[in-house]
Amino acid sequence: MTRTASCRHLTRVSACHQPRPHFVPTRQPYITFSNISFFPNFPSFHRCCSRKMSQNASSSSTPLCNNNINSNGGKAKKPTRRGPRGRSQRTSSECDLVLPSPLSTFPIIDTHTHVEATFEHYRRHFKDRDGEKRKYGNVYEFVKGLYEGRNVEAVVDVWCDAPVKKVWREYADAGVDGKWGGMGYWFAMGVHPHDAKKYNDRVETDILEAMAHPRCVAWGEIGLDYHYDHSPRLIQQAVFKRQLRQAVRLKKPIVIHTREADDDCERILKAEVPKDTPIHVHCFSDTPEFAARLLEHFPNLYIGITGVITYGTNANTAAVIQNMVTAAPQSPNVDLSNSDASTASPSPSPTPSLRILLETDAPFMTPSNIYAEPALRGKKLPISHSAMIPWTAKFVAEVANEALGRRKEDGGELKEAEVVWSADEVMRASRENARKVYDDEL
């Protein structure tokens, strides 16, 4: 039995035929087991995270709330990917969606979200009732209401259904016209492997039309999903290749969805895609060995990190982070207290140590450590959204610090200032990477 990463807080847990470690940081308290988020049901099965969803209770009347409370933590227990229906959880109100004061003032770029699905999920969970209307009547009010004062600089909105939803153009044009309340709106389009069996010439024509829009920054998400096999595998592979060839022809960055399909995904990517192509492997949860091979072969490939890294099934994702920070020269701390956070940068290092892109995959993948916030303890949020990125960044920083601390104990010569990552530094690295992959204007 081998371990996938050297970290003092990794333990072995039997799962199928492969032992999987669970990363549980001890330096910061998190949440109680009953407070962990779970993924609610969505009428159109969510194409990205491909998880079965649990049914939410409907909302009670909106109570008064004060979200301007700093986190003070809570006792940690191992979360799960879906999370339990804890009996102590209280139904959330709309005011809970406006998060507590942000952990970071650093600008947020959410590199993979689903704005329309998130708003539709909100509408289905918070219905007009008893003469009272929900707070947000349209998607623009929704985004402005949730993100005001939360430093959400830009999002990459991913459209991946077949047939293509025509509303994409309204959203994209609103990005050009500045209707998103100061948030930069960009999008990607492709067909998810679940819908590969629906891919045809008409769908491809619609995607090609979207590729010409000035706000379109990538083709995706596309790939292989052998966990659910909603489309036959040979069809998934054929459609994956067809979309890759179009993306390469157009010189578009590519957003990849891969789950339990390491060998075929790697083989197809290496056969179809030039090595210097910008690639975003979205919501990575496969083996760290697979990630290492992709990172080595494609110098412009980045690993997408969602809130799933905070769950008990985060062993693979955490190991990828640990491998990155222990293998590459480290960036020293950046003092953001007396400088403009959006322009602060570390001293140069030979190679970046975090080839990651922070993402939410909203409306799902709520980071579980957000429930350590006093205002959210004992509650469950029906959706995630882009303002939650700092909590994922905080957890990534703790994973990185644990790995670096372990290397120092094993005889490394790192200085103390070189082994401490913060949420700001993780967000800065992701922001710089997003601009490399997608667009300098992000």
Burial of 28 (0-12, 13-18, 19+ CB in 10 A): middle
pLDDT over 70, % of the chain = 70
- Mark out the alpha helices in 106-200 (DSSP H runs): 115-125, 139-147, 168-177
In which band, very low, low, confident or very high, does the pLDDT at 133 lie, cut at 50, 70 and 90? confident
pLDDT of residue 368: 96
* Residue corresponding to tokens 């957003």: 255
Cα separations (Å) of 330 from 8, 354, 395, 420? 20, 9, 18, 10
- The verdict on residue 122 lying in a domain is yes
- The verdict on residue 427 lying in a domain is yes
Residue 282 and residue 258: Cα distance in Å, rounded? Answer: 8
Residue 6: closest CA among 365, 344, 411, 433: 411
pLDDT of residue 91: 54
Instruction: Report residue 254: phi and psi, to 5°.
Output: -125, 135
Residue 291 and residue 323: Cα distance in Å, rounded? Answer: 10
Instruction: Report residue 67: phi and psi, to 5°.
Output: -95, 0
Residue 236 and residue 238: Cα distance in Å, rounded? Answer: 6
The domain total for the chain is 1
Tell me which DSSP letter residue 27 carries: S
What is the extent of the structural domain holding 194? Answer: 10-50+68-437
- The verdict on residue 92 lying in a domain is yes
Residue 207 and residue 160: Cα distance in Å, rounded? Answer: 10
Instruction: Report residue 77: phi and psi, to 5°.
Output: -140, 160
Q: Is the peptide bond before 163 cis (omega within 30 degrees of 0)?
A: yes
Write the pLDDT tens digit of every residue in 207-260.
999 999 999 999 999 999 999 999 999 999 999 999 999 999 999 999 999 999
- The verdict on residue 331 lying in a domain is yes
- The verdict on residue 56 lying in a domain is no
pLDDT of residue 349: 41
- The verdict on residue 188 lying in a domain is yes
The strands making up 108-113's β-sheet, listed across from edge to edge, are 108-113, 152-159, 184-189, 216-225, 254-259, 279-281, 301-305, 356-358
- The verdict on residue 5 lying in a domain is no
Mean pLDDT of 107-124: 97
* Amino acid, res. 128: D
3-state secondary structure (DSSP) of residue 18: coil
Write the pLDDT tens digit of every residue in 328-378.
655 544 444 444 555 555 444 433 479 999 999 999 999 999 999 999 999
Weakest-pLDDT range from 101-110, 179-188, 213-222, 343-352: 343-352
Instruction: Report residue 352: phi and psi, to 5°.
Output: -70, 140
Task: Quote the distance between the C-alpha of residue 249 and its chain's center.
Answer: 27
Burial of 257 (0-12, 13-18, 19+ CB in 10 A): buried
- The residue with greater pLDDT, 274 or 340, is 274
Weakest-pLDDT range from 8-17, 100-109, 328-337: 8-17
Weakest-pLDDT range from 28-37, 141-150, 240-249: 28-37
The DSSP string of 295-336 is HHH-TTEEEEE-GGGGSTT-HHHHHHHHHHHHHSPPPPP---
Residue 132 and residue 342: Cα distance in Å, rounded? Answer: 40
Domain of residue 149, CATH code: 3.20.20.140
- The verdict on residue 62 lying in a domain is no
